[in-house]
Structures are given as structure tokens and as C-alpha cells.
Amino acid sequence: ISKGDYEFIYPGNWVEDYAVAVADGAERAGRLDYSMKKPVKQAIGPQVAFGRPGRDSPENLSVIKSDIHTPAGFSLESSLGSPLDAGERLLKTAIAPDGSGRSARLIGASDRDAGRYYVFEYIVKGRDRKGQEFENHNLSVVAGRQGDNSLFTFTMLSPENLWAKNRERFWVAAESFNVFGMA
């Protein structure tokens, strides 16, 4: 799929999450301001999401685009450190911070395309909103684009017990994630 800012391959039997697509369209439309006033800060949420058909699909994919302040010469390494440091920081501050009731373990952290993308593989354990225990295997790809101060995060999630079945196609999708306009 190509969404203007990025493209990726997703499993052929998956469908786009209609609620996320509608919310993204409404958010984009809400940004129109003919008075030329300063735009309202956008909420961080998925721009796009995919999963198996049906309401309770345990596997999914999402892309989040967020604004960042990037100095001239921005790179993931200069802003976030090495892939390993960045992956550990991501888990401690965003995925499983103290008091969240979740735990996370980084399995692997690497870069691709001369450090333009960081790739993280990790497992998260905790309880969902219904109080049910979960253990999810995740792949995330992070890219920062200096031209418009955007940070893109592509994440695929699978219950750990389905990971062996999903591993190959999840890696194909993660490796296909490409942000347009990267220097």
C-alpha cells in the first residue's frame, strides 16, 4: 500500500481498519483552516491500521506519524543513540513504563539503509483492557524525516503463540516499509 508519505506490503488476507481510516480522514479535514491561524496540535494515533477481517483479530499492523523537532543534520543515531539504546529507551518510556503493568523484552535492534531506519523486535507482556493476560511479539520500524519534522513508526503485533506462523510474512512487511523523501 502507498499512503502518500510511505509504502509497505501487508499480508494479502488482511483488511484496512475502517475506523482508523475514517478518523485519519476526519483529522486531515479538521486541519483545514482558512483563517491561516496556527494549526491545532494533532493527537498521536495511527494513520493507518490493518488486520485480519473481524473485530477481534489478535494480529495487526499500524503506522503512526508524529511531529518531532529535528535540528539540521538530524539522524536517528544523533537523536536516539544506537539502535540498541533507542530500542531499550522505547520499551522503558513508551511500551512498558514503570507503573504500566506491562513488561517488555528487547529481542533485537538493528538499523537498515545506512541508519535511516531502526528496526526493533520485542515481546510485551501484560493485561488487556478486559484484564486478560497477553504476550505479544512485535516488530517496529522507525524513521525520521527531516524535511517536514516527521517521525514514522511502523509496528506489527502478533500473539507470541502465533509468532512462528507469522514470523516470515511479518519480516517481509517490516522490511518493505519505505518512507518517501528520506535524504
**What's the domain count of the chain?**
1
Q: What is the structure's pLDDT at 70?
A: 63
Predicted confidence at residue 147, as pLDDT, reads 75
Tell whether 165 is covered by a domain.
Answer: yes
Predicted local confidence at residue 20, as pLDDT: 56
Q: Which of 57, 79, 63 is nearest to 5 (CA)?
A: 63
Distance CA 168, CA 144 (A): 26
pTM score, two decimals? 0.84
Return the pLDDT at 44: 63
What does the alpha-carbon distance between residue 21 and residue 114 come to, in Å, rounded to a whole number? Answer: 32
pLDDT at 58: 86
> DSSP labels for 4-48?
SSEE----TT-EE-HHHHHHHHHHHHHT--TT-PPPPPPPP-EEE
pLDDT at 73: 64
Q: What share of the chain is helix, strand, coil (3-state, %, to 5)?
A: 25, 35, 40
Residue 174 sits in a domain whose CATH number is 3.40.1000.10
Question: What pLDDT was estimated at residue 56?
Answer: 73
Which residues in the chain land under pLDDT 50? 22, 24-42
Cα–Cα distance between 18 and 25 in angstroms, integer? 11
Q: What is the pLDDT of residue 132?
A: 93
Q: What's the CA gap between 58 and 42, in Å, rounded? A: 28
Question: How does 114-136 read in b/e, with b if 16+ C-beta sit within 10 Å?
Answer: eebbbbbbbbbebeeeeeeeeeb
39 lies in some domain: yes
- pLDDT attached to residue 170: 96
1 within a domain of the structure (yes/no): no
Q: For residues 59 and 137, give the distance between their C-alpha atoms in angstroms, rounded to a whole number.
A: 10
Structure letter (DSSP) for residue 94:
I
Query: Which domain range does residue 30 map to?
Result: 6-179
Q: What is the pLDDT of residue 34?
A: 38
Looking at residue 25, what is its pLDDT?
A: 45
Q: What is the pLDDT of residue 41?
A: 46
